[in-house]
Structure 1
Amino acid sequence: MAARREKGQSLRGSRIAVAIVIGVLLGCVIAFFFPHGLINPTPSSQNRRFGKSNFQIGSSSCESSERIKMLKSEIVSLSEKNSELKKHVKDLTEKLQLAEQGKDHAQKQFLVLGEQHKAGPFGAVKALRTNPTVVPDDSVNPRLAKILEEVAVRKELIVALANSNVKEMLEVWFSNIKRVGIPNYLVIALDDQIVEFCKSNDVPVYKRDPDEGVDAVGRTGGNHAVSGLKFRILREFLQLGYSVLLSDVDIVYLQNPFNHLYRDSDVESMTDGHNNMTAYGYNDVFDEPAMGWARYAHTMRIWVYNSGFFYIRPTIPSIELLDRVADRMARQQNAWDQAVFNEELFFPSHPGYDGLHAAKRTMDFYMFMNSKVLFKTVRKDAKLKKLKPVIVHVNYHPDKLRRMKAVVEFYVNGKQDALDPFPDGSGW
């Protein structure tokens, strides 16, 4: 029994082994003759697959084109925003620079005023007089900055505005400046004719970049209209860190004015006064009898500074003065620049108004002489006739050119009767 069971099990194992061998051989035969398998994909299904792939590619291409357009649009939009931001940054930079200038001024004032001091002996106490200069900023006008580097001496120069209406007076003006030997002066030409005239006479000249409103006044305006422009134009000189001796062209130079300046104030100006009282101030008593015991009211008076000849330092109060005058001249069409100039300099703070805190000095009226002093007083006094002023400003008389030439004849050429034919005042 045991022998038969062993024989049956051996037979079943042989059959399994044969079946395995047959299966392996059959698999090898199929793999040889059918390398891609017994079931191949149909051509239609392949075409559908490839078509779907092509559609995806085409769709992707369209999406890319639309995306490129969108990106280009975004780039243009960003460029515009970038330009606006640059402009905004420029405006902020200018405001920051002004703020820094104010901060610098405030810091310096604080350093001096912030320290507590005991009062010294009687008569020895002196208050602050000279404001600190602003930090120069060449970015305000690089072209003008380059010219001033060549023309100015010790950061100061004479500046005059001129158009073709004053061409003959301008020639007398710069001829005497050259004769005296003053190197640091500049003509601001308000039209092309003056540019060519100055260049042909070897006179330093500067013409501003086009400005429709300003240029129209500069080309065709009379003396008062042109005078109003100078406050706007001078601002750039001060921002660049230069002190300016502003000069009208109806002035004859007999000495170098820079040798006679004090430079201890924001503004140092010649006066329209004609004696010590009117030039330097006086107590004028106003009488009102109806007030009885209080009939006499004391007032302080001074004749105005001449806005056609003054020395101005590059300080915050000086720039504020120019801004105030220029603003009022722009808003008040009939305003006279000299009146506005003096009102802003002298009117004190009061309810509704903040006065300008600027230091000022009146020039010696015999050295910086107006034509009223010359023709009414000096030419009639034997001692005063021997005095040689620094400049003579023909501001009180309309026949300016004739009187300028007479001044040259009298002081330069020694013709003692050159001033005699003229009346004290004008003919009308």
Structure 2
Amino acid sequence: MIGGRREGGLMRKASQSVVKSRILIAVAIIGCLFAFLYPHGFLSFYSPAFHSQVLSSKCESSHRLNELKAEYAAELEKNEELRQQVKELTEKVRLAEQKKDHAQKQIEALGKWRKAGPSGTVKGLRTNPTVIPDESVNPRLAVILEAVAVGRELIVALANWKVKESLEIWFTNIKRVGITNYLVVALDDKITEFCKSNNVPVFTRDANDGIASIGRTGNNHAVSGLKFHILREFLLLGYSVLLSDIDIVYLQNPFDYLYRDSDVESMTDGHDNMTAYGFDDVFDEPAMGWARYAHTMRIWVFNSGFFYIRPTIPSIELLDRVAGRLAKEPKSWDQAVFNEELFFPSHLGYEGLHAARRTMDFYLFMNSKVLFKTVRKDDRLSKLKPVIVHVNYHPNKLQRMKAVMEFYVDGNRDALKPFPDGSEWEW
């Protein structure tokens, strides 16, 4: 019995020991779980340190967000740069394709084997092919030109508010003659409104355009140089342009007197057959003895204030050359650069421009030197009616323009008499 009670006591003790062990194991496991989940203590969840961590995390998120915004802005800027580069490359590829097309056409024209034919019947290639129009160059201008141009050609003039009075005479005579295909490129808002109020076709460049800003603030010399930049867009759109200064009086429609067989067809600063169309000028150097006489070829310059230019590769190259030189040589005269690029031949270190040129009839497309020095004093010549008169040799342009109108339009034969032959400036 005693043995049985002892065994029963031992069994109970063993059972209690197992239960205690299981409880201790459970507590240990729970403790490990809390230690893993809350390494800084269970109450630290509610501590200031925890809130500090949360705030710190929020600050880091805000800072990261700002970083992401900055990175996004930088990527946008890179994308814009890439877009501009793609646009420039596209333009270069397009021009290269145009040159390729031009070269192919020349090869087709020149590559055929032909007999020369009898003496006096042989003629070389005269007219360069026009470029393929590209409306993406300036879609807004393309819409205007589609409405204004006749036969894909038009008169174009640049103007700012400084020449408002001369501009009014300019377009008044154009309207009187019956010309409809003309356009004023306005270089400031005042001229835009002035043209619109007078039903004059006008195109205004974007306000943020660097060219437009020069036109608003620049002098006549700066404005004159702009035309080579602006004309390029017209040619790329496939239009022939009769570029006109504002100090010109229109007496007939010039499109009725153009030949259109050259890249550039220009009025001259010459005043007679020799100076206008070229002559052999002999240079005398006595010290050379037997070889004292050197023959030179001379021609007075084309006037860059009135010329007809066709949309061809040589024409566009001419505009690019002149614009490029004027940008590098700001003190250069645009008319001098215009003529140098047109006439200088290829030589060592320089490739001349391969462009066809024509000089306009100097009595039909008359400069003011021809008018005031010769024509007005000749009874026969004074009865001829020119196409235009360009007051390019004289400073008092407005007064002389009005006198030209009185003489040719109103029939006042004395209108030109008060003016001297030359300039009234004191040198």
TM (norm. structure 2) is 0.82
Q: 1:174 aligns with which of 171, 175, 197?
A: 171
Query: Once the two structures are superposed, what CA deviation does each residue of 1:195-241 show, in whole Å capped at 9, x if it has no partner?
Result: 11111111111111235653443123332221111111111111111
Code of the residue aligned with 2:272 in structure 1: it is: N
1:328 shift after superposition: 1.2
Cα 1:276–1:81 shift into 2, 3 Å: closer
Q: Is 2:115 the counterpart of 1:107? A: no
Percent identity between matched residues is 73
Q: 1:319 aligns with which of 316, 325, 332?
A: 316
Per the alignment, residue 221 of structure 1 pairs with 218
Cα 1:47–1:120 shift into 2, 3 Å: farther
Separation in 1 of the partners of 2:187 and 2:69? 45
Separation in 1 of the partners of 2:409 and 2:398? 16
Code of the residue aligned with 2:113 in structure 1: it is: Q
Q: 2:338 aligns with which of 313, 328, 341?
A: 341
Counterparts of 1:53-92 in structure 2, within 5 Å, are 76=72, 82-92=79-89
Separation in 1 of the partners of 2:186 and 2:268? 26
What secondary structure, in the 3-state scheme, does the structure 1 residue paired with 2:143 have?
helix
Cα 1:49–1:118 shift into 2, 3 Å: farther
Separation in 1 of the partners of 2:162 and 2:76? 47
Separation in 2 of the partners of 1:82 and 1:380? 67
1:174 shift after superposition: 0.3
1:42 shift after superposition: 6.8
Query: Once the two structures are superposed, what CA deviation does each residue of 1:13-64 show, in whole Å capped at 9, x if it has no partner?
Result: xxxxxxxxxxxxxxxxxxxxxxxxxxxx979769979998999xxxxxx9xx
What secondary structure, in the 3-state scheme, does the structure 1 residue paired with 2:346 have?
coil
Q: Is 2:233 the counterpart of 1:236? A: yes
Cα 1:254–1:314 shift into 2, 3 Å: same
Code of the residue aligned with 1:123 in structure 2: it is: G
Q: Is 2:158 the counterpart of 1:183? A: no
Per the alignment, residue 363 of structure 2 pairs with 366
1:75 shift after superposition: 9.1
Per the alignment, residue 132 of structure 2 pairs with 135
Structure exhibiting the larger radius of gyration computed from Cα positions: 1
Per the alignment, residue 149 of structure 1 pairs with 146
Query: Once the two structures are superposed, what CA deviation does each residue of 1:81-115 show, in whole Å capped at 9, x if it has no partner?
Result: 54444333222211111111111111111111222
Code of the residue aligned with 2:104 in structure 1: it is: Q
Per the alignment, residue 298 of structure 1 pairs with 295
Counterparts of 1:119-134 in structure 2, within 5 Å, are 119-134=116-131
Code of the residue aligned with 1:298 in structure 2: it is: H
1:165 shift after superposition: 1.3
Structure 2 unaligned segments of length 5 or more: list them: 1-24, 40-56
Cα 1:289–1:372 shift into 2, 3 Å: same
Aligned residues: 379
Cα 1:321–1:110 shift into 2, 3 Å: same
Instruction: Kindly indicate whether the alpha-carbon contact (under 8 Å) linking 1:165 and 1:222 is maintained by their aligned counterparts in 2.
Output: no
Per the alignment, residue 204 of structure 1 pairs with 201
TM (norm. structure 1) is 0.82
My pick for the range that moved more, 172-181 or 133-142, is 133-142
Instruction: Kindly report the root-mean-square deviation, in angstroms, between the aligned alpha carbons of the 2 structures.
Output: 2.6
